[in-house]
Each structure stands twice: as C-alpha cells, then as structure tokens.
Structure 1
Amino acid sequence: MAYRRTAAVQERLDATRTRLVDAAHDLVAAHGYAGCSIAAVAERGEVATGTVYRHFPDKGSLFAEVFRAATQREVDAVAAAAAGPGTVAERATRAVETFAHRALAGPRLAYALIAEPVDPRVEAERLVYRRAWQALFAGLVSDGVAGGELPPQDPATTAAALVGAMAEALVVPLADGSAPPHVVPQLTAFVLRALGATPP
C-alpha cells in the first residue's frame, strides 16, 4: 500500500518550504543571486543543507521559486495602483510611480528581478512575468483608446515598449545605487508622452 502523507506532515513540509523561500528571498534582497548559496539558505532557514535539497533539487529551482513569489508581489502592487479611480493618465502615473518607487526602495532585489544574470530557469520566469507586466499596461492603453483619452495605437506593442523602457531606465541606477531624485518624475513624464496622454 502506497504511503500517504498525513495533513500534519504535509503542513510541516509546506511550512519548511515557505521558510526556505523566505530565507532565500531575504538573501537575494540583500546580496543578489550571487550572494545566495544553498548553505546560506539552510543556515538562515535553520535547517540542514540536505533539507533544502529535499525541497529544491538545485539552486536554479529555488531561485525560480523566489523570483515567482517576489515578482508576483510587485505585479500585484502595480496592478492595484493602476486599478484605482481616475483618468488613464492618472492611473498610468500611479502605476509607473509604484513600479519605480518600489524598485528604488529595494534596489538589490529589484536588480535581481529585472536584470541580474542568473540561471536559465529564472530567465524563463522573467519572460513569463514580462508578459504579465505587458498585459497590465496593455489594459491601461486599451481603456484609454476606447475612452478617447489616448490616440489610436496597438495596446500590445505600446505596452511591450513601455515595460522595456521602464526596466532599462532603472537598470543602471539599481545596479550602482545612483538613482537621481528626478528619475521617477522623468520616467513618468516619458511614459505619458509615449502614450500620448495629457498629464494629470
């Protein structure tokens, strides 16, 4: 007869896995992927190194899980900002400001999510979440065009260009901690110009 885990055992396993992902997240946020080893995750998670490998076969699978969890939080925060009331220009402004301010508040983590070279599995996740970012901004563009607030344009193409530009504008400041105080308003102004929106 096949062994079946009890609910209590499964809860303990799930709790350990969550603790390990949280530990890895904290290490990546402080030191990037390069500073996050399996041994360091085990120490921070207060488990043996072998326990980490029982949940994640290698560092790439652990990093991919960290990336998914961290990026989903960012997407959710920007989506919430964009979903509020107001014109499309106001909603786009809130979305860009939320994206940029959150990135600049946690520069090491943001750089790891946006650009740090890492395992191919994380690169694959970046493509998944780039599509999520694009879908979010494409929705704003569609609303603006449908309501006459924006000139006619292809939402998917505009959104892809905006997401790429926003990430590129922040890569160097995030990498070397050199973000000038005007970077967020300048980035917001650029996005509104690119959309053809009237500033709020």
Structure 2
Amino acid sequence: MVYRQTKAVEARLLDNRTRILKAARELVSEGGWSAAQIASVAAAAGMATGNVYRYFASKADLYSEVLSNVSQREVDVLQAIASSPESPVDRLRTAVSTFVQRAMHNPRLAYALIAEPCERAIDEVRLKYRAAISEVILSMIAEGQDLGMMRRDIPSEVAATFIVGGFMEGLIGPLSPLNADTPDSVEDRKRATADLATSIATLACSSLVASHCAAQAVKDSMA
C-alpha cells in the first residue's frame, strides 16, 4: 500500500520548512551568510541540526532558497511598478528609487544578497534574479523608446544592463557592513536613504531621457 501523508503531516512539514527559512533569513540579516551556519539555523528554528537536512540537502541549497524568496519579492514589487499607469520615465525612476529604499531598509541582508562573497551556487541565483530585474527594467525602457520619451540610439538591452548594474553598484558602499557613515537617528537615516534613492534614480534616468523630454521636465519644474 502506498503511504500518503495526512494533511496534518503535510502542514507540519511545511511549517518546519518555513521556520527554517525564516531563521536563516534572520541570521543572514544580522551577520551575513557566515552567520547562517546549519547548526545556528537549527537552533534559531528550535530543532535539531539533523532536521534541517531533511528539508535542505546542503547549506548551499538553504542559502539559495533564502536568496530566491527574498529576490522574488523584489522582482514582484518592480513588476507592479512597471504595470502602473505612470509614464515609462516616471516608472523607471520610481522603480530604481523603490529598490534602493527597500534595500536600505535592511542593509545587512541587502548586502548579502547583492555583493557579499559567497559560494558559487549563491552567485548563480544572484545572476538569475539580476536578469529578472533587468527584464523588468528593459520593459520600461523599450516602452519609453517606442513613445519617443527615451533615447533610441542605445539598445534597450544595453541600457537595462547598465542601469541595473549601476544602481546595484551604487548601493554597495552604503550597504557595506564596513560603512561607518550610517546616521545615528531614525530621522537622519530616513533622510539619507531618501537622498541616496533620489540621486541613484536621477542618475539612472538622466542618461536615457530624450532631450526634448528633459527640456520639458525643466520647464515643468520652473512653472
């Protein structure tokens, strides 16, 4: 007779898996990948170390799923922005600014996901989601070019790669655990984050906005 898991067993297994992923994500948020050793994850999840291996074959498998889960949420947020009724230029600016602000909300986790040295398996997942983010950015650029709001002399694929690489590289310094310039007060951190997001988003868009659109934006700001 074929054994079939009861709904109660399935729910318990799913709950255990969720607890492991949550514990791993929290440890990475606090100390990076090196803080999320299997024994530490098991302790944080309230279970024996061996139980973690029932759900994840290796540390790399666990790390890859943590990275996938968090990264997919960021892709979903960007896709929602890309589907909004704003102009392509405004959507692009909002997308970059939003990504920066969300990253700065949890800088240690964002640094681990974007730039912290890691195992090859993690880097492969990074590249997968960077490509997914580039696809979302590319869709806005291609639409902007079709509407004459963005320069057509730059291939959309090149522009998207340049912009995604640019705003991620622009974040690495502020995200780094070695960065000593983090403001102490909550209000100062919010202000610094908003300024950083605006600067990076402005740089990302300025190289692509068609000259007549840029001129119009200046006129509108002076009106």
TM-score by length of 2: 0.84
- Match of 1:166, as an amino acid? F
2:24 equivalent in structure 1: 24
How far does residue 56 in structure 1 lie from its aligned partner after superposition? Answer: 1.0
Spell out the pairing of 1:53-68 with structure 2 (5 A cutoff): 53-68=53-68
Deviates more, 1:115-124 or 1:188-197: 188-197
Distance across 2 between alignment mates of 1:97 and 1:140: 15
Asked if the contact 1:137/1:159 (under 8 Å) is kept, the reply is yes
> How much identity, in percent, do the aligned residues show?
37
Structure number with greater Rg is 2
1:192 equivalent in structure 2: 205
Distance across 1 between alignment mates of 2:23 and 2:135: 30
Deviations 1:76-106 (A, max 9, x none): 1222233222111211111011000011111
Deviates more, 1:177-186 or 1:71-80: 177-186
How far does residue 2 in structure 1 lie from its aligned partner after superposition? Answer: 4.1
Spell out the pairing of 1:1-200 with structure 2 (5 A cutoff): 1-152=1-152, 153-175=154-176, 176-177=178-179, 178=181, 181=192, 182-197=195-210, 198=213
Deviations 1:91-146 (A, max 9, x none): 11110110000111110010011011112111110111011011000000011011
Asked if the contact 1:142/1:155 (under 8 Å) is kept, the reply is yes
- Match of 2:114, as an amino acid? I
Asked if the contact 1:42/1:48 (under 8 Å) is kept, the reply is yes
Consecutive unaligned residues of structure 2, counting only runs of 5 or more, are 184-191, 218-223
CA RMSD of the aligned region, Å? 1.7
Distance across 2 between alignment mates of 1:179 and 1:75: 27
- Match of 2:129, as an amino acid? Y
Asked if the contact 1:138/1:156 (under 8 Å) is kept, the reply is yes
SS in 2 for 1:195: coil
How far does residue 179 in structure 1 lie from its aligned partner after superposition? Answer: 6.2
Distance across 2 between alignment mates of 1:79 and 1:156: 17
- Match of 2:69, as an amino acid? A
Asked if the contact 1:81/1:98 (under 8 Å) is kept, the reply is no
Distance across 2 between alignment mates of 1:179 and 1:155: 35
